[in-house]
Amino acid sequence: MITIDKLGFSFGVDWVLKNITMTLEEGKIYGLLGENGVGKTTLLTLMCGLKDASRGSIDIDGRKPFDRSPLLLEQMIYLPEASATRSLVAAEYATEQGCFWKNFSLDKFHEIMAEFENDPARRMDKMSAGQLKKTYISFALACNCKYLFLDEPTNGLDIPSKTQFRKAIMKHTADDSTIVISTHQVRDLENIIEPIIILDKQDVLHNASVEKIESKLFFDYGTVAKSDALWSEALPGGFIQVLRNTDGEQSKINVEALFNAVHCNKETIKNIFKK
Amino acid sequence: MKCEFNWKRFGKYFLYDLKCMKRKVLPYFIIPVLAPVALELIWRLGETVRFSSVYAHGTVGGPELFIRQMIFLVAIVLMVMFAPGRLYGELTDKVKGSEWLMLPASRGEKFLSMELISVLILPVVFLAGYYFTDWLICIFDKSVGTSLFNADKAGFVEKEFEYAINIRIWKIAYYSVAFLTGALLFKKPRWKIAGTIVLICLVAAMTAGNLRLLSRIEWFNNFLNYLLESGIYAIFKIIFPVLIIGGLAVINWFKIKNLEH
């Protein structure tokens, strides 16, 4: 379990994150959403110990990530948005690096690479950006870590690969894994992320499970514009509108509409979810 | 913060680091290591051209020891400047540095491996390669005289113990660590070497300037004379490189310990 308590981080005098408090439980795939520059990547790097908190604390299974204890490091993997090229073939890279993660499986790496239709015998410096990303995703999943921190994992992937990514995440991660995915590509991942965390400048604007969102908000896909909608967007043939769920009616969450509704009605949404 | 050092994991990490060294640095060693062969060929070609003239007479031969020692020095300087940065300079890069930090080995294990490779493995591999090529040249071309290795060995045996510490490998080691420190301290690739050279020049200039000022003070001169006569200076000369390597290693340790991406 990841416990974040009053976490703050600043670059000099500029506070990127202030007073973040939340708990990330086992067995969930957290979607970390937010506008550019609100600190999503910073929060991810703080959780995996690449940065030290300016104030407050992060605790992962009783350890502080910035201590970079090998016992904690072998339980986590971080996939940054940018992928580094290597003058190695993919399988060689996986073998060389994988031996440091006690649960790493080379067979699984080859299996996921095959699912992505990616050639493990290809040199990484000869791969396209998408192929390189798929190699790193395959490696990350083959490490069988308890904690996965993925920063924009679907950036650069083609449409079949995005589908494959969702399948791979569901198939190749353990039930007790905690996965945090930071993304702007909400449509790519809206069927797998649960709960949804929305970061605002320096703060957590929204952190709720799909069940709770469904109970508090109603996503209307009708043809009539409603005046009391928290968010409304015209689509071909109708609207997508976010309304208060006063009747307890079930609806399918549209993460993009949720994000916009939260951003346009910060205090209102906070009050709705407080109740 | 507990220091979690595990020898088995260290062994695994050290092997991994050696593999990286083999991939990233050893191919670049081929050029300087083959320098004696290139020198021999160029020299012989030059001599052949020179002695083909009607005015010059002599026997075509290879380069003498002094010339080979100078080229050796240039090769060493190039190796010392480029190898540590090539191997560890990318730790300051956001993506590759993050990957390195996330590798499940402790800070102590990573640090020890880095220092061992920079201080010992890189210089030994380079020297062994260079000495071997030079030795081959000496076998095939008797005109060049003694090999660099034999010349260095003779110099080492002739000199007293106080100079023992100043054998070539030791000097290479501390300059190698200095350039490793530069590779870790400077983020921009072009500054990793240039910045280190500037820093070394600054430190040397400041030390020389201070010594010059101090030499005007009588008690300091007396103190220096005392050090020389009592033999303490000889001991200091031995421990001085150790202190430099130790000091730079401390800087490297803190840089690794607090490295963030």
ipTM of the complex: 0.89
H helices then E strands: how many in chain A? 10, 12
Pairs of residues, one from chain A and one from chain B, whose beta carbons lie less than 8 Å apart: 63
Per the CB < 8 A criterion, the answer to whether B40 and B63 are in contact is: yes
Q: What is the pLDDT of residue B167?
A: 57
**Is residue B160 over pLDDT 80?**
no
Whole-model pTM: value is 0.87
Q: What's the pLDDT band for B58 if we cut at 50, 70, 90?
A: low
Lowest mean pLDDT among A61-70, A232-241, B106-115, B161-170: B161-170
**Is residue B165 over pLDDT 60?**
no
Q: What is the pLDDT of residue A4?
A: 95
Task: Give which of B87, B99, B107, B257 to mutate to test A binding, by max A Cβ within 10 Å.
Answer: B99
Distance from CA of B107 to the nearest CA of A (A): 8
Distance from CA of B115 to the nearest CA of A (A): 20
How much of chain A is in helix, strand and coil states, percent to nearest 5?
Answer: 35, 30, 35
Q: How far is CA A178 from CA A44, A116, A150, B213, in A?
A: 13, 23, 11, 64
**β-bridge partners, A14:** A11
Per the CB < 8 A criterion, the answer to whether B171 and B72 are in contact is: no
Q: CB distance A82–B98 less than 8 Å? A: no
> Nearest chain A Cα to B8, which residue?
A100
Q: What is the pLDDT of residue B133?
A: 92
Q: What is the pLDDT of residue B162?
A: 47
Per the CB < 8 A criterion, the answer to whether A79 and A137 are in contact is: yes
Q: Which of A88-97, B117-126, B132-141 has the highest mean pLDDT?
A: A88-97
Report which of A108, A39, A58, A118 is spatially closest to residue A83, judged by C-alpha positions. A118
- Please report, rounded to a whole number, the percentage of residues in chain B having pLDDT higher than 70: 90
User: Which member of A78, A87, A101 has the closest CB to residue B98?
Assistant: A78
- State how far the Cα of B250 lies from the Cα of B92, in Å rounded to an integer: 18
Q: CB distance B104–A82 less than 8 Å? A: no
**Is residue B159 over pLDDT 70?**
no
| B interface with A, Cβ–Cβ below 8 Å | 1-2, 4, 6, 9, 12-13, 16, 19, 23, 93-96, 98-99, 101-107, 109, 258, 260-261
Q: Which residue has the higher pLDDT, B61 or B121?
A: B121
Q: What is the pLDDT of residue B168?
A: 66
- State how far the Cα of A104 lies from the Cα of A111, in Å rounded to an integer: 13
Q: CB distance A69–B105 less than 8 Å? A: no
Q: CB distance B6–A70 less than 8 Å? A: yes
